[in-house]
Amino acid sequence: MSLTVLITGASSGFGEACAHHFAAQGARLIICARRAERLQSLAHKLSETCDVLAEALDVRHKESVFQFVENLPEDWRQIDVLVNNAGLALGLDPADKASLDDWDTMIDTNIKGLNYMTRALLPGMVERNRGHIINIGSIAGSYAYPGGNAYGGTKAYVQQFSRNLRADLIGKNIRVTNIEPGLAETEFSVVRFHGDIEKAQNVYQNVHPLFADDIARTVVWASNQPEHVNINSIEVMPTCQAWGPLAVSQQAD
């Protein structure tokens, strides 16, 4: 039986790569993000391989999230895997200078958006006694670095919420996994630096970061384990990174 997989933040980076990897193994896909054109073009490509439903959605809007889930066509309602991937970091300023608006946006997206999606889809999973919620956390949820402040805080929430979800779901056939990537080259840094491409490119200068495919393979691997096996969390870093402030080697590979 093919899995029905819903991926948030599928218009770029990890989400888009997850869509390709799940499609390659025959899943049916529901993809969402805010940028409708990007989604449509991805849906067009994916439709050569799998059934796909694309819908523009801003996960920060509670009503939109619940309406979206309620309005899913009858044959798309049984979601097997929810990949809570939509998220962002904004800014790298120290806490005394950081923008409060940026903090609010990160909290609204990374915490509240993830809550809304989970709360909207979990009752169906519980009713069917089947499902897998795969959250995209970050190493920033475990390890502090200068400027990580509110972003790290949101990902610490994702880590602890994932663990507590498991506690609520104990004994049920519903799995929860937190994937915690380190430095990965996607549009993440362009977004973090508010569109400053040069600043974003500098982050990946002379290092060999992770790429979106590395994380998509990890997500699909966690999903493919036998149903009684729950992968609680997976921390993934590139070899140029280790724990601690700054954490990245600027040595050329």
- Would you name the residues annotated as active-site residues? 151
Query: What are the C-alpha distances in Å from 58 to residues 9, 11, 55, 78?
Result: 9, 12, 10, 21
Taking CB within 5 to 8 Å according to partner kind, which of ligand L7H2UBRR, ligand NDP, none is near residue 131?
none
With 0-12 / 13-18 / 19 or more C-beta atoms within 10 angstroms meaning exposed / middle / buried, residue 168 is exposed
Give min distance, CB of 187 to ligand NDP, in A. 3
Compute the least distance from the CB of residue 58 to ligand NDP, in Å.
4
Contact criterion met (CB below 8 Å) for 46 and 29: yes
Q: Is 11 a residue that touches ligand NDP (CB under 6 A)?
A: yes
Q: Which CB atom, from 131 or from 148, has the smaller least distance to ligand L7H2UBRR? A: 148
Cβ neighbours of 250 (radius 10 Å): 9
Q: Which one of ligand L7H2UBRR, ligand NDP, none is in contact with 31 (Cβ closer than 5 to 8 A by kind)?
A: none
59 sits near ligand NDP (criterion: CB under 6 A): yes
Measured distance CA(145)–CA(151) in Å, rounded: 10
Residues 176-215 touching ligand NDP, rule: CB under 6 A, are: 181, 183-184, 186-188, 191
Q: Which partner in ligand L7H2UBRR, ligand NDP, none is near 187 (CB below 5 to 8 A by kind)?
A: ligand NDP
